[in-house]
Amino acid sequence: MKPLFGKILIANRGEIALRVQRACRELGIPTVAVHSTADADAMHVRLSDESVCIGPPAARDSYLNMASILSAAHVTGADAIHPGYGFLSENANFAEMVEAHGLTFIGPSPDHIRMMGDKITAKTAIAGLGVPLVPGSDGALPDLETAREVAGRIGYPVLIKAAAGGGGRGMKVALDEGEIEEAWRVARAEARAAFGNDEVYLEKYLDRPRHIELQVLADNHGAVIHLGERDCSLQRRHQKVLEEAGSPALAAAQRDAIGETVTAALKKLGYRNAGTLEFLYQDGQFSFIEMNTRLQVEHPVTEMVTGIDLVREQIRIAAGEPLGYAQKDIKFYGHAIECRVNAEDPETFMPTPGRVQAFHAPGGLGVRVDSALYAGYVVPPFYDSMVAKLIVHAPTRPEAIARLRRALDEFAVLGIKTTLPLHQRIVDDPQFQAGDYTIHWLEKFVAEPHE
């Protein structure tokens, strides 16, 4: 059978570049790795069919350098580009440039990337399609007085958020009227510094929500399905640390109901490829917060409970193939948990780049490790600190936790500090074992004294 593409360039690095390479190899598609000078010895470069150096270590000069990436695609004869996650994966201008150069962008349309990249635009579009929202302002706040008026109408506490935000930047809580001016001022300043856009909006601050997201796939022929939910509530400084599929807080009926709402909305929107809608969930109510128009870091837990290769499906959809199944064909098996392993001190969370002296990944039934580490590799200081993902799958959540504990005990990374000890602490905590946590739980947990 003829491959879906002649050659795919992977515009990313590390474990996600390896993940895409593996899917391509199983589909019989050659790959091109791009890399900075700091990543010349990286595993994604070593295992690719071809590689091209695209610039110096700084991301802005390499992995964010659109001209260099497109030049690499033309030089190697690639006919499609997979952006992975992070870097240029949600850059609508890059997607447009890829298509303008006669290449296929393996992801959504530039219009949908742009629509969902601005949180105000995204909320407006989604609200018009019947998806529930957090109470808040109808759009950007033009001035402080409007912020005061909206906050007074919906009630304190409130959250002021950057329209172009992400990762917790440009996000401030006002507990009462006395704090609204400071929250407004700081959020706008942070948004301007981080995103070059000081537009902010306001939402009701929920005090004990869970962070639930729904994975969707949509083809170019009008078919849209969901692959269930992931619970991403264990976060530190708005950065996800551990994810589960499914959520300990949801029953199948609740999943089916929000899934039906979301797939109907995206069908009306004409969305294509993979996407994730993120919600806050409290008191039985879902409230949409944003949509990610790309593959998620935590996609493996969905793969484990559904048996569906999400990267393979992204490539098939981008090649014009129809989805090979309907919603009724999607079955959920067991429970999966993912731990993000960062090159950070597990107590101070300061980055710990350096040479890996030894690396041993756990194995056995139901254990998966996505990582680009190897003994002798030097973790560079220029990029995100995540160096591995440990994913486990088992018939039930208690069995998955037991398997995760065993796998964590086997996992060895010597030479640099990692957050493996933090995950060992989390797994042993009774509240985590009971599934009794919210998005605020981990911040309190890491602040507690321990041996």
Catalytic positions: 294
**Which residue, chain included where needed, has tokens 């500090």?**
417
CA distance 231 to 213: 7
Cis ω before 157 (30° cut-off from 0): yes
Residues whose CB falls within 8 Å of the CB of residue 145, separated by 6 or more in sequence, listed in order: none
Residue with tokens 């899917």: 23
| φ, ψ for residue 425, nearest 5 deg | -65, -45
Report the alpha-carbon distance of residue 370 to residue 183 in Å, rounded.
39
Calculate the CA 13 to chain-centre distance.
15
Question: Residue with structure tokens 């629509």?
Answer: 115
Which helix (H) or strand (E) is 87 found in, with range?
none
162, 194 contact by CB (below 8 A): yes
| Structure-token pair, residue 371 | 């990582």
Q: Residues with Cβ < 8 Å from 440, sequence gap 6 or more?
A: 207, 208
Tokens 């919906």 — which residue? 154
The rounded distance, in Å, linking the Cα atoms of 149 and 378 is 53
